[in-house]
Chain A
Amino acid sequence: MAAPVHRVLLPLTTNTSTGGGVGGTATTIKMDPATRLEGHLEVTLQSDAGRVVSAQLGGMMYRGFENLLLGKDPRDAAHITQRICGVCPTPHAMAAVMAGEAAAGLRVTDNARIVRNLILGADYLHSHILHFYHLALPDFIKGPAMPPWTPAYQVDLRLNDTDNQRMVDHYVQALTARRQAHEAGAIFGGKLPHTVAYEYGGVTTTPDASMVTRFRNLLNQVLAFIDNVYVPDVDLLAGEYPEYYTIGRGYGNLLAFGVFDLNTTGSSKLLARGRVVNGSTAVQGIDLNAILEQTRYSWYNDPGLNPSGGTTQPNATKAGAYSWIKSPRYGGVAYEVGALARMWINGDYRRGISVMDRHQARSHEASKIAHAMLTWLGQLNLGSPCYTAYTPATSGAGIGLTEAPRGALGHWLQVANSVVSRYQILTPTCWNCSPRDNAGVAGALEKALEGTPVVDSAQPAEPLRVVHSYDPCLSCAVH
């Protein structure tokens, strides 16, 4: 039942790896699907002497959201683009309304800003908890002898019975905690995933005291789980797997658009905008014009364009391509995005860049956001408006920059004759799981996989841990 094969493995050597001196002893390892992540990710590895020497990542699905929106009412984008991803839809709503409001010259009220942050924060808490316990943790613990935990790789499982049991118990508790995060978000958002509350001009919701009380009660339970269970569990795992502080580093280039505006202009954010090169602590600014989305190895015909002038022209049979993900590069360089990038750039976490550092940064970020949400809840001014009437832009352009749990997210909108004339979306996993760029340089996760040990090529558990540390969201990446 195999489809026609129309993809070829790239040459073994990459831009920075061992120079190809592996003399025909390399083993090709294909992990397709890479499970416990969102969407369709094909991982192809070449290993030699028990280490990955080259990695190739394919995003294996394309729907066409950007082109679907052409000619549509720009306000519809907040609802449509959420359907890019059911794990992190709310950031797309946020980016869409920010882009539309920028085009219309509109600024929302402080109350609207806070409600948006609370619904978005709920999405982060659900997502980070889901990621650690239900997506990543099964890489490290003994699962139960029943589906969906069997079959499983049986490689390098170190936790003693007591600790393993603790993690299994917490896997179950985490199901409740992440559900409660969604329930809190639904109080203001109506439902999750896919809230209808984000509209140009603010939010539809008018919060009242009862909603605030319900939200606070749920948030307090989620917060207690994060601080008392999630954060210590990451420490426990890190203690058992210390070498994962050195595995999966990648380029060390980190980028964040920043998120959770703390004022109506967005000049102050809970997590700041910026980028660093090669693990530096010197945070540099971001020039959006430096971003190009390249497609030499992607199933698109577009040249490498900036999103402000970008197009998306699918070509499902393009020779030499191996992914539906484009290759965004900043100044020609690949960057990693996500919780570690945000926490590093914001100065909250700078222990290192690795598999375990990503888990640590994510758990600490969850705590930081949950505590901030409690503060924001107290800043709501009940009775003050959450919506501002406005005149839709008949023409113009706007950019919405925010962060999904998985990293920097941008929507580039252009309006002509009151309809969408261009819509370009740059998602976190585009950065992280991009294929090689026009110069043949590996994407962030492709690079991070190089050097990863593989004890048993039939059970590539170690590379899968590296993959999961990035929390890939493939539906976002391909959109």
Chain B
Amino acid sequence: MRISRRDFMRYAGAAAATLGLSGVELAQAAEVLASATSPAVIWLSGSGCTGCSVSLLNAVNPTIDQVLLNTISLKYHPNLMAGAGDLAVSAATSTATAGGHVLVIEGAIPTAADGRYCYVWSEAGSPVTMAQAVTAMAAKAIAVVAVGTCASFGGIPKAYGTAAAKGVGDHLGKPVINLPGCPAHPDWIVGSLVALLAGTSIALDSYRRPTAYYTPDTIHSRCPRREGEEMSRFGQKGLCLEELGCKGPSTHADCDRRLWNNRNGYCIGVDGLCIGCTEPTFPAFPLHRNGDD
């Protein structure tokens, strides 16, 4: 299909926005995205909820290095790609066979019952499990990124043990970059991919989370409510939520600084609980405590 340069510029804009790369110079983006040599991104979804993909769509004005933009070509994404069925599968498998791609995983990887708790597609008419697909897609990848708590640590699918769901690192038996969060913040995703593709060194904590986003100190340690009165029940504006179960004291994320949805809020900001969604222990039950406990 041939399209005009004007059309292509619009398409490039759409791609940039879809990837959270708004705010870039589209003229350069067009050349980049047209490049046959652009390293590819495969986005695989397993036992998850697509919340991290939706969160990615909420990205706003990430600081994007033009060189990095030139390296992104989204070859497979189950929710966004036009192709379906064999056409979609071949886009993923041909990319993985060629190698040199970045593999992004959203969702956990069930391993019980030969992986039957999650199938991602069919090849030659036979179903392929998430576990099989991740192994195959990762073999020649230049990097593997686990987006969200399910992909990073197993998350909720792991918490219910029947499916023996695992995070990506556990499944592959090798270190990956973990970007947990339920969902992951779009800046965490875009910023990490950009740094990765730029070859920038990414400082990671012991759970292999970038410390730029997953702060060594906790949300609670920075919280202005920390020294004040405790909330005894919900609906008390501005008070500390620790007695109601807030997991800010054990949560390492920059939500309180970065805020969410174009800086329109964050969980504690609406006097709600931090439920510790970036932590390997998530979901750590109980999420609620009674104020008078």
**A contacts, CB < 8 Å to B:** 1-7, 30-40, 42-43, 58, 60-65, 67-68, 72-73, 75-76, 79-80, 83-87, 89, 130, 134-135, 138, 142-154, 165, 168-169, 171-172, 175-176, 178-179, 182-197, 199, 201-206, 214, 299, 314, 316-317, 324, 385-389, 459-460, 464, 475
- Select one of B85, B120, B156, B159 contacting A460, CB under 8 A: B85
Taking the closest CB of chain A, its distance from the CB of B85, in whole angstroms, is: 4
Q: Are A204 and B160 in contact (CB under 8 A)?
A: no
Taking CB atoms, residues of chain B closer than 8 Å to A135 are: 79
Taking the closest CB of chain B, its distance from the CB of A152, in whole angstroms, is: 4
Can you name 25 A-B pairs with beta carbons within 8 Å? A2-B123, A2-B124, A31-B85, A33-B85, A35-B78, A36-B78, A43-B85, A73-B287, A86-B52, A142-B1, A144-B10, A147-B75, A148-B18, A148-B82, A149-B81, A151-B83, A165-B10, A168-B11, A183-B264, A185-B261, A187-B264, A194-B182, A194-B277, A201-B235, A204-B272
Q: Are B10 and A172 in contact (CB under 8 A)?
A: yes
Q: Interface SS of chain B: helix, strand, loop or mixed?
A: mixed
Tell yes or no: B172 within 8 A of A by CB.
no
Taking the closest CB of chain B, its distance from the CB of A405, in whole angstroms, is: 13
Tell yes or no: B195 within 8 A of A by CB.
no
Taking CB atoms, residues of chain B closer than 8 Å to A73 are: 285-288
Name, among B53, B79, B80, B162, the residue most crowded by chain A CB atoms within 10 Å (CB to CB).
Answer: B79
Count of chain B residues near A, Cβ 8 A: 108
Give residues 36-69 of B contacting A (CB, 8 Å): 40, 45-55, 57-58, 60
Bound complex: CA of A4 vs CA of B116, how far in Å?
9
Q: Are A40 and B270 in contact (CB under 8 A)?
A: no
- Chain B 245-266 near chain A by CB (<8 Å), digits 1 or 0: 0000000000100001110111
Q: Are B85 and A30 in contact (CB under 8 A)?
A: yes
Q: Are A63 and B10 in contact (CB under 8 A)?
A: no
Bound complex: CA of A71 vs CA of B62, how far in Å?
42
Q: Are B49 and A83 in contact (CB under 8 A)?
A: yes
Taking CB atoms, residues of chain B closer than 8 Å to A87 are: 49-51, 54
Of all chain B residues, which has the CB nearest A314?
B162
Stretch at the interface among B127-135, B196-204, B207-215, B221-229: B127-135
Taking CB atoms, residues of chain B closer than 8 Å to A75 are: 287-288
- Chain B 66-99 near chain A by CB (<8 Å), digits 1 or 0: 0000000111111111111111111100000000
Bound complex: CA of A34 vs CA of B79, how far in Å?
9
Taking CB atoms, residues of chain A closer than 8 Å to B50 are: 38-39, 85-87, 475
Taking CB atoms, residues of chain B closer than 8 Å to A205 are: 270-272
**B contacts, CB < 8 Å to A:** 1-3, 7-8, 10-15, 17-18, 33-34, 40, 45-55, 57-58, 60, 73-91, 112-130, 132-133, 135-136, 155-157, 159-160, 162-163, 165, 182-183, 233-235, 237, 255, 260-262, 264-275, 277, 283, 285-288
Of all chain A residues, which has the CB nearest B241?
A204
Bound complex: CA of A334 vs CA of B109, how far in Å?
32
Taking the closest CB of chain A, its distance from the CB of B139, in whole angstroms, is: 11
Q: Are B87 and A151 in contact (CB under 8 A)?
A: yes
Of all chain A residues, which has the CB nearest B91?
A151
Taking the closest CB of chain B, its distance from the CB of A468, in whole angstroms, is: 10
Q: Are B163 and A64 in contact (CB under 8 A)?
A: yes
Taking CB atoms, residues of chain A closer than 8 Å to B120 are: 33, 40, 60
Q: Are B260 and A186 in contact (CB under 8 A)?
A: yes
Taking CB atoms, residues of chain A closer than 8 Å to B136 are: 1
**A35-B78, A65-B160 given; 10 more Cβ-contact pairs under 8 Å:** A35-B79, A43-B85, A63-B160, A130-B57, A142-B1, A147-B74, A147-B81, A192-B261, A199-B272, A317-B113
